[in-house]
Structure 1
């Protein structure tokens, strides 16, 4: 189980509506929503990896410490939610290094995992894996082997693998059906699929692939009362707001149906 800890205004789909200068002026929702998730996970005996945005960690250090003290894994989501594909190598290194240092200083422990915003490591910036290795990360979960207008590495490996740069990559799960790779790893797809279908896809993946399954989502996905971004494109609004009111209940069912733990435990990363 993984959570990308960011607020509604951080998402790539709304990057044209909100600038970095706007962030501190906006209603803040991520702290409250993340605590709701921590309580939900406690209720269902679930341990998770929280990929925390550095900007969120700096604003809410107590939240970071509470995630860690409640037995979850703290990992990095970078600092400012800039897609890796929009940064130079030096910019990427500075962004990720700032996040990692703050997270580690705050929890008093090592941060070994990283996830790029919007799964934005692909053929154009494989050097990002070299940077992650240089900074001391052991694993990344930054690729999604599907076709998507914002991300996707459909020809890359679908399962955990060792990268030549010296880091482990754990892609978001996909299921092969009718010659295509179907996204089944969570996020907006989980809110789009009917619950019964979503469960059947996970069951099929587990039975046919014999690989661990990982799920991702965001704290804003359990928050149907978040501020609306009216001037965003229709497609972005549809993806973002679809079935938010149903997400918490669907998530609770998912937590009960399977056994969950952190990425470093499930994938045995030490």
Structure 2
């Protein structure tokens, strides 16, 4: 924890609001056409998260799929009523790398307008599904600016088998100048000339909690920067329907330690100071 003599840095707590059957790892096993017939768990899980955040007096940013918002408008209103920031995760969890510029503009514009209509607040932030903005499609950042977004949290400066831009800056930066879009990468630590994940996701479930605590503490104390942490509603749901037709690697990544996530999140909200992305990184709302 931070020393009592120093004011604690406020880190950003973020949630990528999608249901278990929408994750990219299941894309080849669960068709999009079947989504409406799947057993949805997102409302139950978001209610649990909202209760956890309220108990800890933490406000967060909810990067929400338009597909989800359209079907659960009451949930969107609960998020906003709780004092949280509503942001976009796109409409249908399509990777940016799988879209043309025109398709991407339609996706981010439709989700932005939908969320603004339902939530009654301006949507400033966007996070790409599977952190799918990188070296080959940086044009997407200009498209986001044209669509009216102020910031993105879509570039992950790590080496990963599905995503990542390891040479990108580790902390907040303007890829195209100060008049452009602000990019807010998920938190990493730099050890022996390599970036390692320190901002949640599957690593938060895989590794013992003291390691996650040490990583965030290192960023706050050594780098003197706010951390950006993320997780998904399905990660607090060990009772979600289990998929039977997936590989061992995918099965491990998705299901490891789901039963421990809730208690670890409670520890995380107790051990560090947390807030919304817009309040931490934007000088104007």
Same fold per superposition (TM over 0.5): yes
Structure 2 partner of 1:144: 156
| Structure 1 gap segments, 5+ residues each | none
Cα distance, 1:233 vs. partner? Answer: 1.5
Is 1:244 aligned to 2:258, yes or no? yes
- Within the alignment, does 1:197 sit opposite 2:218 as a pair? no
Counterpart for residue 47 of structure 2: 35
Which of 9, 15, 28 aligns to 1:16? It is 28
In the TM superposition, what are the counterparts of 1:125-164 in structure 2 within 5 Å? 125-164=137-176
More relative contact order, 1 or 2 (CA 8 Å, 6+ apart) = 2
Tell me the TM-score normalised to structure 2 length: 0.93
Rounded to whole Å, the distance in 1 between the matches of 2:254 and 2:155 is 20
SS in 2 for 1:216: strand
SS in 2 for 1:82: coil
Aligned residues of 1:49 and 1:74 also touching (Cα < 8 A): yes
In the TM superposition, residue 268 of structure 1 has moved relative to its aligned partner by 3.0
Unaligned residue ranges in structure 2 (runs of 5+)? 1-12
List structure 1 segments (4+ residues) > 3 angstroms apart after TM superposition.
none
Residue pairs, 1:97-246, within 5 angstroms: 97-164=109-176, 166-246=180-260
Other-structure match for 2:7: none
In 2, Cα distance between equivalents of 1:84 and 1:260: 29
Note the aligned Cα RMSD (angstroms): 0.9
Determine if the alignment matches structure 1 residue 52 to structure 2 residue 64: yes
1:90 Cα offset (Å): 0.9
Tell me the TM-score normalised to structure 1 length.
0.98
Describe the SS at the equivalent of 1:142: coil
Following the alignment from structure 2 to structure 1, what is the Cα–Cα distance between the partners of residues 36 and 165?
Answer: 34
Question: What CA deviation, in whole Å up to 9, does each residue of 1:177-199 have, x standing for no partner?
Answer: 12211111101011111111111
Cα distance, 1:269 vs. partner?
A: 4.2
Question: How far apart are the structure 1 equivalents of 2:163 and 2:102?
Answer: 21
